[in-house]
Structure formats: C-alpha cells, structure tokens
Amino acid sequence: MSEEAGAGLQAFVEHVEALSKTSSDSGINGFAYEFALLREQSNVIRASLPHEAGTSPFNAMKNRYRDIIPFDHCRVVLPADPSDEDPGADYINASYIKDADGNMSYIAAQGPLSHTVDDFWRMVWSENAQIVCMACNIIEANRYKCSKYWPDVGEEDDFGAFTISTLEEKFLTPDFSRRIVRVKHKGQTREIINYHFLTWPDHGVPETPASVMHFVQEVRRAHLGESGDPTGKPPLIVHCSAGCGRTGTIIAIDIALRILNKQGVFSKIDIFNTVLKLREQRIAMVQTWQQLVFVYKALLQVVKYTLATLEPPKPDLPPRDPAQQAPPVLVDDHVYVNVNLMRAQSKSISEQRKRALTVIGKRADEVSSSSSANTLASAARRGRSRRVKKSAYKHRAGGVGGGGDQQQDGGGGGGGGDDDAIDEEDEEEEEEEEDIDEDGLVDGEESSSSRGNSKDRDEHVSRDGPLGFPNRIRKPRGPRPEPKAWTWSARA
C-alpha cells in the first residue's frame, strides 16, 4: 500500500484530520496531545546531550536567552583568529541542521547581539553562505529582538574586520523584503541576499500559511535554484530572535517541501519525527503547539494540491463483446445522426405500428388532394367573377360615352375609345382590387342567377385551361386610331 502513488500523502491528510478532532473522553485536542508527547521526548534528548561550550563563563554573555544553548555536537565553530585573545572566540549561538537526506543544509542561529554582530559576519563568511533568512523584527513588543547587522541603503558600516554596505532593498510582498548586501573582508568582496519576514509575531503564527509558504518558496528558489538539489550548496542561515521557534517552523516546512520536490506523489510526510530530529540538533525547535499546528496546515494545502494532480486509477474492465458495442456514429458537417441506430430501430417496429403509419399517410394524402382541388376551384371562380365585373363596367362606360356630345367622326367613336382605356386600366388594377361580382358576392362565391346565366359567362369564358384556370377568348380589336397630335401634318 505504501508503494502506491499518493498513499503516503493520503495518510498524511487523514492524520491531520484526526489531530484536528478533540477527544470526547479526555477533551484534549489531537494537536495539543502530539505536542505534549513531543515535549516529553525532547526533554529526554535535552538531558542526554551536552552543551558545555554555551554555558562556559567566556560565552554566557553571548547567548541572548539563557535556556536556548546549542548542543556541542552540532554547534557552529568559528575559525580561530590569532589576533583574538578571547578564549571563546570560536563560539556563536548557532547550530548545524541536517535535512531529511542527511545533508548539512541549514544553520539555525539566534539574532545577533550588539557585541556579537562581528561574530555573525564571521560565520557568514566562513560558511560561504549566500542566503540569510531573518524571521523577526529589530524591536517587538517594545523589546529588542535582534541587533541591526546591516546599514541603510546607500550607506556603509564596519563590523569588526568586515565592511558592510546595503546596495538594494525591495519589498517583494507586504510581508517580506529582500536586501542585497555587499561584504568586504581582507580585499575580497561578496554579495549576500538577506530575506526578511516582517509580519510574524513572536511565539505566535501568521493568520494564514500563504505568506509564509510564499516566503519559504522564494528563499528555497534563491538557495537551491530551479533544480532544488542541495548537493554542493552552502548552508542556508535562518534566524529569528532565539533561533528556535520561528526558525524551526521555517526549516520544518522547507524539509517537507524538499521531500515533496524529490519524491513527488510517493512522498511520506512525518512532521512529528521531523520536528523531533530538529530538536536533537537544537533546543526547542518549533517552540509552541500553535507553531506545530501551523506546520501541519501549511503542508496540508500543498499535499492536497499534489493529490489533486493525480489521475484517478482506471479500473481493469473485461473486453467488451463486439456485438454489444454501440454502432458507429456517422458524422455530417451540419447534422449528427446515427444512421445505423435509426435503421436498427425501424426494423424493430411492429407490423401494427407500420399499418398505423400507412393509414396516417393515406389520410394525409387525401387531405392534401382535397385541399388542392378546393384551391383550384376557388381560383376558377375568382377568374369568372372578374370577367363578370369587367363586362358590367364596360357596359356602363359605353352607355355614358354614347350619350355625350358627338364629334364629327361619330359619337360612337368616343365611347369606344373610353372603353379601351377602361379595359387597360382594369387589367392593371385587377390584382389589387377586391373582387366582388354583380350580385355583391365575394370572389369565390357564385349566386344562382350567375350559375343560370350561361350565355353571359360564355361570352368571356369558353373553357378551362390545362391547369384548371379559365382562358380568355376575345374578338380582336384591330388597330387603334391615332390621336390628332400624331397626324402626319402635325409631325411635318
């Protein structure tokens, strides 16, 4: 089970969920219980490991806190200086810290005192450190937590045999900044990057892990590069005020992130043993139970994100029978139809259903034929009604023309000319006027008198055409007389 991808990470998530609960019997929270167990085992380790160098009379004044003393087996030993007659010249309150692979990757240190700033720069120079990570402010709660070991931007200051100048200072986020510091010693010059987290309360934790995770990622990228390989890299110096609470929290998170970066989904995260090993190398690393909870919650977000990137395992299903597979879908540019499926469905229709569809089709054809016949009959009646209307209009117009004043060419000529004009006008407007016959019937209706008067109907309509529409049969009118304005004398 442990070899499966994501099994160790899922176990970590379940462990954090279990620690978040409070026991109904004892009323103790899981995180508080684990921290109490961690403290109990740490006290046993502390009592068994010597720390004589930090308690010697020569070095006691170099410790910021009397109870935070480095163990002798892992303390940082400064190189000897022949010009320094101090018997404790090799002491500084700082400890080497190993990562999960045993690499000496960190140095956990207290914030330098005013009289130990030169020792701090001796440590930076001798370890060839390139990154210094600071997790406290100069003053917190009206108390000095760390001496300022760098000058302001553009200025230069001497600390023992080291000349320090700050080239640049920039806030990367509202929570932390980055300084570029130049160090000169015995004719040599180096540039050190100093990352400074400003919003972490002493003995407490930030409101959310996001800002700290961003800080740790930025520091780790600058320290190890994109590869994340610590091989051959100088140690990362991390300090706060005492060099154990906030310093231990940052180092514990970074160790777990290195494991995730190296092992990926096969990682196994064990915060309890990680912190316990840190306490074997320096006293009170991850100093409070709130800081322990903070480490868990900060890593929980990263672990859940890593698990979310895993694809769900595909079940080993037996091969499907080709006969049970769905028929292929024929795809068209505009219509997506499974033709084979439609054919298969049509074959399964019962004979009774087919007969019902046939009857419905025949009825639809009959209704369509009847509708077409009615349409043709209505059009024929409309044509006959228009002829009757035109005939009556022409008779009335002719009567008016005959009763008027006769001209020299004959009175009937005037009536005939008006008849032609009225006939042409009627042909142009017959599509726009409402067709009403002599009996006041709307076009399409036929009265009994019009049906019986076959003589008048035959004058204009002889028979129906091939499409059922009436054909007009008229007598040829012959050439029309030219107007007087068009006579040959007028043209001449």
φ, ψ of residue 80 to 5 degrees: the values are -70, 140
Q: Which two tokens stand for residue 31?
A: 């995180």
- Which residue among the candidates 133, 136, 146, 240 is catalytic per the annotation? 240
Q: Which two tokens stand for residue 293?
A: 């909870």
The number of C-alpha atoms within 13 Å of 312 and in the hemisphere containing its C-beta is 3
**Given its phi and psi angles, is residue 281 left (phi above 0), alpha (psi -120 to 50 degrees) or beta?**
alpha
Alpha helices in 49-116 (DSSP H): 52-55
The one-character DSSP state at 176 is E
The one-character DSSP state at 282 is S
Instruction: Characterize 9-30 residue by residue with b for buried, 16 or more Cβ atoms within 10 angstroms of its Cβ, and e for exposed.
Output: bbebeebbeebeeeeeeeeebb
What is the spatial distance between Cα 415 and Cα 411, in angstroms, rounded to a whole number?
7
What is the spatial distance between Cα 270 and Cα 279, in angstroms, rounded to a whole number?
15
Q: Which of 135, 108, 133 is nearest to 197 (CA)?
A: 135
Instruction: Characterize 36-66 residue by residue with b for buried, 16 or more Cβ atoms within 10 angstroms of its Cβ, and e for exposed.
Output: eebeeebeeebeeeebebbeeeebeebbbee
Strands 336-337, 330-331: parallel, antiparallel or unpaired by DSSP? antiparallel
Has 240 been annotated as catalytic?
Answer: yes
Q: Which two tokens stand for residue 303?
A: 């672990």
Q: Which of 306, 301, 314, 205 is nearest to 250 (CA)?
A: 205
Q: Which residues are catalytic?
A: 240
